[in-house]
Amino acid sequence: MVGMWTLAAAFVSFGIAAILGKILIPFLRKLKYGQTILSDVEWHKSKQGTPVMGGIMFIISSVVATVLCVLIYYFTERGDVQVESKLVTIKVFAGLIMALLYGGVGFIDDYIKVVKKRNLGLTPAQKLILQFVIAIAYLVTVAMAGNDTATIIPFVGTIDLGFFYYIISAIVIVGIVNATNLTDGIDGLCGSVTFFVTIFMMMLSSILGILSMSIMAAAMAGGCIGFLIWNFHPAKVFMGDTGSLYLGGMICALAFGIDIPVLLIPMGIIYIAEMFSVILQVAYFKITKGKRLFKMSPIHHHFEKSGWSEIKIVTVFSVVTIITCLLSMLSVFYGV
């Protein structure tokens, strides 16, 4: 059952994000922190100058709501911080810091883009190095807190991967973070998909009894909705890499926090489809010496060029996410 502080986190985060939009968007416009559009999608040219770095809204809201509600939950339930295990507590705050660091990488990337007025920021190599350092730091932190190398796989059982756990986990974290980043390409898409993923993470965490993780998931879901007030089509602000990399970090923190990171595959199927559409497009282009597998990648742009409206894409991708999240929950209940 969703607890009182879980709901409180959602509402607090929603309120902060929604209110911040009134303050942050005019501020970003004043600084002329607008997006430079170099997309092949012609109608995106009208979005030129739309403020970027709007992800700061849900970053602030989710961090404040998580810290506030988790601490109140800890101290009111038992009178001390032992209401949940030390490992769970460290996973919550280490996960939050991991997400913030990814958001920091995104902020640097966005800042370079804004200053140079082009859609190029950090180099791919610079991004990957920073992202792997952050992932490794998170994994080392939770390992020192007592996290083992076993992971739950529905219908298979608990598998101890040994040292390979860290290698696979680092690759998964960096992969999902970048996949989430690629999903941010049209108004409301990344925020909507992530909202549904975090809602189901919230419910799953609550049912499993990991309430502090449920609070963090709820805070993220509330922040997404507060942001979508300003980002849904036609967007008044973009989350930028600041926001999308942060969201990727939060999704990973939640999945690893409940010890079922394999759920990132079905729950994050849209993120993964976006990432592989880019990989396949590049590979096919090189193999065929110039031919394209999709009209444009990531895949949401393919649907745009096929005549789908941005609202239709967001709706369909969200429905797909809801279905895969439901199946994921069922796999946990009946396969673990």
Q: Which amino acid is at 57?
A: M
What mean pLDDT value characterizes the chain? 90
256 vs 43, residue with greater confidence: 256
Specify the pLDDT at position 81: 45
Specify the pLDDT at position 114: 80
14 vs 331, residue with greater confidence: 14
pTM of the model: 0.93
pLDDT-derived band of residue 2, with 50, 70 and 90 as boundaries?
Answer: low
Q: Look up residue 296 and give its two tokens.
A: 């444009």
Tell me: the pLDDT tens digits for 173-207? 999 999 999 999 899 999 999 999 999 999 999 99
What does residue 152 show for φ and ψ, rounded to 5 degrees?
Answer: -90, 130
Residue 19 has pLDDT above 50, yes or no: yes
Specify the pLDDT at position 78: 59
Residue written as token pair 């791919």: 124
| Average pLDDT score over residue span 119-129 | 83
Specify the pLDDT at position 54: 93
What does residue 30 show for φ and ψ, rounded to 5 degrees?
Answer: -65, -40
User: Which is nearest to 260 in space by CA: 205, 217, 322, 216?
Assistant: 205
Q: Which amino acid is at 79?
A: G
For residue 124, with 0-12 CB atoms within 10 Å meaning exposed, 13-18 middle and 19 or more buried, which class applies?
A: exposed
The C-alpha atoms of residue 66 and residue 5 are separated, in whole angstroms, by: 10
Q: How many CB atoms lie within 10 A of CB 276?
A: 16
Q: What is the DSSP letter of 51?
A: B
Tell me: the pLDDT tens digits for 79-123? 444 557 789 999 999 999 999 999 999 999 988 888 766 656 688
What does residue 48 show for φ and ψ, rounded to 5 degrees?
Answer: -55, 130
Q: Look up residue 53 and give its two tokens.
A: 């770095």
Specify the pLDDT at position 34: 63
Residue 45 has pLDDT above 80, yes or no: no
Specify whether the CB–CB gap between 235 and 50 falls below 8 A. yes
Specify the pLDDT at position 120: 63
Helix runs in 145-210, H state only: 164-183, 189-208
Specify the pLDDT at position 10: 97
Domain range for 210: 4-335
For residue 326, with 0-12 CB atoms within 10 Å meaning exposed, 13-18 middle and 19 or more buried, which class applies?
A: middle
Tell me: the pLDDT tens digits for 247-285? 999 999 999 999 999 999 999 999 999 999 999 999 999
pLDDT-derived band of residue 131, with 50, 70 and 90 as boundaries?
Answer: very high
Provide the number of structural domains found in the chain: 1
